């Protein structure tokens, strides 16, 4: 059974860059190719920000980027803006679907 | 407008049943795999169940297997989740979410609240 570990919180000032990590703990390393990231403002529908590790859906600003090294995927947000303050979740979709515990991003 | 709208959430006693619905509009519903994802109070997202566009593939999280049933009616552009033997730990906002060819949820509804309490 896969598990995805995220930091509980990260913060940054407007204009800065922040990264959110997502580490997979599982023997099935090969299944960690379908990593996606979601932005969730409480009370609203979650929004897909990154899929297939590093691809950005149409309409998502290029300030958002994704990468993966070994068992750790990362979401990087550059040029932080106030509206980026939200919860961010990583997800592995391979066989079974697993979400990380979520990271609260605070824009100082 | 392309959207998903969930309904059917309510307060129900432990052991009770509830049926959630998700109405899709603005896209060819029958072409998409569909899922239910939930979020318990103060917790993160948890995948619940998925159904393929052909209904050939249906999967459930271990936490709901044997108690929940996912289904779809393509003629009505609707997704359903029948929830039986509800437990307090099933209390959550339930979201329906669409999966296109990629393995990611590209469209979500705003959710419907299910509260299981005596």
Residue-wise pLDDT for A3-53, tens only, equals 899 999 999 999 999 999 999 887 554 556 789 999 999 989 999 999 999
A94 contacts B45? CB cut-off 8 A: no
- % pLDDT > 70, chain B: 100
Rounded Cα distance, A84 and A31, in Å: 29
DSSP A51: B
Query: Are the C-beta atoms of residues A85 and A107 closer than 8 Å to each other?
Result: yes
Pairing between β-strand B11-12 and β-strand A47-50 as defined by DSSP bridges? unpaired
Residues from chain B contacting residue A43 (CB–CB below 8 Å): 110
Residue B31 CA, distance from chain mean position: 17
Per-residue pLDDT, averaged over A81-93, amounts to 95
pLDDT at B24 over 70: yes
* CA angle centred on B31, ends A62 and B68, rounded to 5°: 95
Mean pLDDT of A58-87: 95
| Bridge pairing between strands A96-99 and A86-94 | antiparallel
Whether the pLDDT of residue A1 is over 70: the answer is no
CA–CA separation, A87 and B88 (whole Å) = 25
Task: Mention every residue, 6+ apart, whose C-beta is less than 8 A from residue A79.
Answer: A15, A17, A63
> According to the model, what pLDDT value does residue A28 have?
52
Residues 32-51 (A) with a CB less than 8 A from some CB of B: 34, 36, 38, 40, 43-48, 51
* Buried b / exposed e along A54-90 (16+ C-beta atoms within 10 A): eebbeebeeebbbeeeeebbbbebeebeeebbbbbbb
Contacts of B111 in chain A (CB under 8 A): 45
Backbone φ, ψ for residue B84 (5° rounding)? -115, 165
Residue B63: pLDDT over 90:
yes
Residue A54 confidence (pLDDT) above 70:
yes
Burial of B24 (0-12, 13-18, 19+ CB in 10 A): buried
């Amino acid at each position: 059974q896969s598990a995805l570990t995220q930091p509980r919180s990260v913060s940054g000032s407007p204009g800065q860059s922040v990264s959110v990590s997502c580490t997979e703990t599982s023997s099935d390393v090969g299944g960690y190719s379908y990593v996606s990231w979601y932005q969730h403002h409480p009370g609203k529908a979650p929004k897909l920000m990154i899929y297939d590790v590093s691809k950005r859906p149409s309409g998502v600003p290029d300030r958002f980027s994704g990468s993966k090294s070994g068992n750790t995927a990362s979401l990087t947000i550059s040029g932080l803006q106030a509206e980026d303050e939200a919860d961010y979740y990583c997800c592995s979709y391979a066989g079974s679907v697993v979400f990380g515990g979520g990271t609260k991003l605070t824009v100082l | 407008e392309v959207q998903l709208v969930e309904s059917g959430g309510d307060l129900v006693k432990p052991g009770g049943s509830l049926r959630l619905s998700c109405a899709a509009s603005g896209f060819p519903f029958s072409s998409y795999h569909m899922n239910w994802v939930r979020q318990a109070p103060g917790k993160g997202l948890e995948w619940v169940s998925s159904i393929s566009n052909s209904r050939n593939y249906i999967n459930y999280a271990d936490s709901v297997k044997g108690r929940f049933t996912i289904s779809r009616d393509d003629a009505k552009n609707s997704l359903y989740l029948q929830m039986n033997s509800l437990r307090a730990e099933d209390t959550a906002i339930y979201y329906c979410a669409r999966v296109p060819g990629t393995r990611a949820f590209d469209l979500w509804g705003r959710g419907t609240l299910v509260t299981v309490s005596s």
